[in-house]
Amino acid sequence: MDPDPRPEPAAFREFEIPEALAGERTDRAVSLLTGCSRAAAADAVASGGVLVDGEVERRVARRLAAGSVLGVGIDPLPEPGPLLGDPSVEFTVVHLDDDVVVVDKPAGLVVHPGPGHAGSTLVNGLVARFPELDPSHGPVVGDPDRPGLVHRLDRGTSGLLAVARTPRAYEGLVEQLAGHQVERVYTALVRGDPAHDRGVIDAPIGRSRRNPVRMTVTAEGRPARTHFEVEERFGDPGPLALLTCRLETGRTHQIRVHLHSIGHPVIGDDLYGPHRSVVEVERPFLHARELSFEHPVTGEVVRCTSPLPDDLERVLTDLRRRGAGTEG
């Protein structure tokens, strides 16, 4: 008798191993892809509740290849519950029509449910305000766990985010993002004095093997390009520089990782920046200020802007008051 018979397919959720997780241990990959704890992932592997390419895998330390299919038993890792609308979630709508909504996300608001964030996310607020996004009420718009989302912003980043209200709009926006046709412009304050007034950071980004919460520049990562231009330089308490950044691609933490990689981390970024900041700010000084795209249904150009939030504006006001600001 086969000691490790494959359980019924219906008892498993399947995940394809992305390039960013190539070489990861089986237990860590299970944890990252499902959101369960590392201990729960190890238990699932040891109990025969994990498949790799259709075969039971009991080795927690086996390194996985990109493209392999990971099957995870539903019993130890249950399907997420229903997506509930939360009308208490606050965000500003800057563009609205029958197919697309553009929101201005405040800093501190998580974009979609995940480990440790089961409710009160932007998606929960969107479902409350736009019931058609609820997967149980009609056609699913994109991923049922994060309906309507075509791109994301980190929790600490404020600014503009496009959301599709219909499947047609979703497909159109995703296609434009893949074709680098969506213009996304950010304002960032960074540590140090960039040697050049403008430049392009062209470096692939993948998940760090030392710390799976972090992303890093790595040859095994996905292509990523960030354009930057210095708008202002500060000497006190710097050196510091105010940058305009334009995304050509949209990898996880892209601007933060790229600027860190060239020695100019974003001020207030506890994950990639120095532990001690020279400026008092409660979150990364990063704001998505401009968003432009071709409307996926009408073909008209949609252009949205967002002013710098008060907390970041106060930082600039203080720097300029010191008399150290000069144009880049």
Q: What is the largest CA-CA distance in the chain?
A: 80
pLDDT 10s digits, 14-44: 888 988 788 899 988 888 887 776 777 887 8
State residue 104's pLDDT score: 98
171 assigned to some structural domain: no
Query: Residue 23: helix, strand or coil by DSSP?
Result: coil
The angle, 0 to 180 degrees and rounded to 10, between the axes of the packed helices 26-34 and 38-46 is 120
Place of tokens 């892809």: 33
Between the CA of residue 132 and those of 127, 163, 305, what are the distances in Å?
A: 7, 12, 26
pTM here is 0.76
CA distance 122 to 111: 5
| pLDDT computed for residue 118 by the predictor | 62
CA dist 79 and 172 (Å) reads 29
Q: Are the beta carbons of 104 and 126 closer than 8 angstroms?
A: no
The 10s digit of each residue's pLDDT in 231-289 is 999 998 879 999 999 999 999 899 999 999 999 999 999 899 876 778 889 999 999 99
Query: Which three-class secondary structure state does DSSP give residue 114?
Result: strand
Query: Does residue 298 form part of some domain?
Result: yes
Among 49, 73, 97, residue at a domain's last position? 73
Domain that holds residue 285: 180-327
Domain assignment present for 152: no
- How is residue 131 written in tokens? 């019931």
The answer to whether the CB of 310 falls within 8 A of the CB of 293 is no
Q: DSSP alpha helices (H): ranges in 68-214?
A: 122-129, 167-178
Please say which residue of 48, 73, 98 terminates a domain: 73
Structure tokens at 14: 């399947």
Q: Which one of the listed residues 99, 104, 134, 154 is annotated catalytic?
A: 154
Give the count of domains, the chain.
2
Q: Are strands 205-207 and 215-217 parallel, antiparallel or unpaired?
A: antiparallel
Q: Is residue 197 annotated as a catalytic residue, yes or no?
A: no
**205: its two tokens:** 């980004």
- Asked if the structure places residue 173 within a domain, the reply is no
- What CATH number is attached to the domain comprising 54? 3.10.290.10
Q: 196 in a domain, yes or no? A: yes
List, for the chain, all residue ranges whose pLDDT scores fall below the cut of 70.
1-11, 37, 74-81, 114-119, 212, 275, 323-328
pLDDT at 108: 95
| Domain end among 45, 73, 101 | 73
Give me the CATH number covering residue 245.
3.30.2350.10
- What stretches of 9-149 show up as alpha helix (H) in DSSP? 26-34, 38-46, 122-129
- Tell me the two tokens of residue 174: 């995703």
In a domain, 158, yes or no: no
Nearest one of 232, 295, 236 to 99, comparing CA atoms:
295
Query: By the 8 A CB rule, do 205 and 262 touch?
Result: no
Burial class (CB in 10 A: 0-12, 13-18, 19+), 136: exposed
What pLDDT, on a 0 to 100 scale, did the predictor assign at position 83? 83
- How much is the pLDDT for 173? 97
Helix-then-strand count for the chain, H and E: 6, 16
- Partnered with residue 207 across adjacent β-strands are 215
The reply to whether 211 falls in a domain is yes
Predicted pLDDT at 81: 64
192 and 321 housed in the same domain: yes
Which pLDDT score, from 0 to 100, does residue 72 have? 87
158-164 and 215-217 beta bridge pairing: unpaired
Residue 191 and residue 322 in one domain:
yes
For residue 15, being part of any structural domain is answered with yes
